[in-house]
Amino acid sequence: MTRTTLLLLLAVAGVADAAPKKGDPPAANEADRHFKAGVSLYDEQKYAEALAEFERAYEIQPHPLVLYNMAACHRELSHYGDAVKFYRRFIKEGQGKVPAAKLKTAQKELDDILARIARVTVNVSSGDNTELIVDGISLGTTPLDAPIILPPGEHKIVARAIGHKDAERTVRVASGDEVEVKLILAEAPAEVEEKHHAEEDKPAVEKPVVVAPAKAKKLALGAAYGTNLAAVADTGAPTLGIGFAATDRIEVGIDAVVVAYAVMPSVRVRLAGEAMSVHAALAVPISFTDGAMSETFVAGAVGLGLRYRATPALAFRLESFASFAGKTHGTTFPAFIGGELWF
């Protein structure tokens, strides 16, 4: 189901819930007209125009479903900060007023946005009531209620306060980054302040700097359940493991089977993707003797896996291997599904 189709389905429900009835005041008819115009424009992928219609409809006659449509428009326009704000308002104000399935859909779309944006916390030396301007748009004055939400890329942050020179930084962020920016505003001489107010001078530009992203997490502790895909009904055991990210693409680790005498050293190489990634894996399963009925042997294994990073500290992993242990033990197809905590 496409986003446009989903919005239209919700819009139809919204019209049914909020559409004016016979005898309603003229304002209700006017709100409904703007709402339907917004749905039509959204279907034509004219998101800025659709947003204007939804905003006018909500001004005339507030309804939670209009907040959802406004959030969807901001999402398509890459206004991720505003999209997050309106999704959260819809989820809060829609409790008991819209079906739970619609709230669940909105929560999933909100989670998708949060997974691909960066959060920037700005600290300023001039204290409260300092105006923050990002990419030419004023976000209000400090203190802000939450970190600034930005899409991946380069952004210019300006701090402005009466009696001080403007301070400016340029930051480059990627999805999932959580960075902190400190801006120091120098006091402005009286004549400079007067000239600033009289002529609206441009901000005093300092040398742009790239703010380093939050320190990458290197160590992982994992737990999974494994089974042989060739004999699912007769095999299966939990595993515990530890991993280390040697680079942003290469990871080494070792997993131990909890109820058997076996370990599996491995190397994983990320092939593509970020939050959802595909990796190749090489492993050396080692089975140790646990009595007269077993023997120690070493196998070789190759495989592919998927990893989904729900947050920088939490990931889920699915892997499947083909393991070769010679003529005596043959070929098996071990598969694992589990989670990881990154530190």
Give the pLDDT confidence of 266-294 residue by residue, as tens digits. 999 999 888 889 999 999 988 887 655 56
Q: Are residues 98 and 73 in the same domain?
A: yes
SS3 95: coil
Q: What is the pLDDT of residue 223?
A: 93
Do 44 and 78 lie in one domain? The reply is yes
Q: Name the average pLDDT for the chain.
A: 83
Q: In b/e form, how buried is each residue of 4-18, taking b as 16+ CB within 10 angstroms?
A: eeebbebbeebbeeb
Q: Please check whether residue 209 lies inside any domain of the structure.
A: no
pLDDT, tens only, 64-113: 999 999 999 999 998 888 999 999 999 999 998 889 999 999 999 999 99
pTM here is 0.46
One domain for residues 241 and 330: yes
Residue 274 is classified by DSSP as: S
pLDDT of 230: 84
Q: DSSP letters of 11-58?
A: HHHHHHHH---TT--HHHHHHHHHHHHHHHHHHTT-HHHHHHHHHHHH
Instruction: Report the pLDDT averaged over residues 238-245.
Output: 92
- Same domain as 10, residue 55: yes
Residues 111 and 43 in one domain: yes
Residue 315 placed within a domain: yes
* Residue 262 within a domain: yes
- Residue-level pLDDT at 196: 55
Do 31 and 95 lie in one domain? The reply is: yes
Per-residue tokens: 144: 């802000």
The residue that leads in pLDDT, 206 or 248, is 248
Residue 255 and residue 185 in one domain: no
Residue 127 lies in a domain: yes
Same domain, 191 and 272: no
pLDDT value, residue 295 = 74
- CATH number of the domain at 243, please: 2.40.160.20
Answer yes or no: is pLDDT of 201 > 90: no
End-of-domain residue from the set 115, 141, 167: 115
Same structural domain for residues 226 and 338? Answer: yes
Residue 207: band (very low, low, confident or very high) from pLDDT cuts 50, 70, 90 = low
Structural domain boundaries enclosing 133: 118-199
- Distance from C-alpha of 151 to C-alpha of 106, rounded to nearest angstrom: 19
Cα-Cα-Cα-Cα dihedral sign, residues 245, 246, 249, 250: negative
Rounded CA-CA distance 139/233 in Å is: 58
Query: Residue range 125-154: average pLDDT?
Result: 84
Which CATH number fits the domain that encloses residue 194? 2.60.40.1120
**302-327 average pLDDT score:** 90
Helix (H, G, I), strand (E, B) or coil at 3: helix
Beta strands in 66-177 (DSSP E): 118-124, 131-134, 137-141, 148-150, 153-160, 167-173
- 18 versus 78: the higher-pLDDT residue is 78
CATH of the domain at 82: 1.25.40.10
139/175 same-domain check: yes
Both tokens of 55, joined, read 């905003």
Q: How confident is the model at residue 44 (pLDDT cuts 50, 70, 90)?
A: very high
Q: What's the structural domain count of the chain?
A: 3
Residue 211 lies in a domain: no
Instruction: State how far the Cα of 166 lies from the Cα of 307, in Å rounded to an integer.
Output: 44
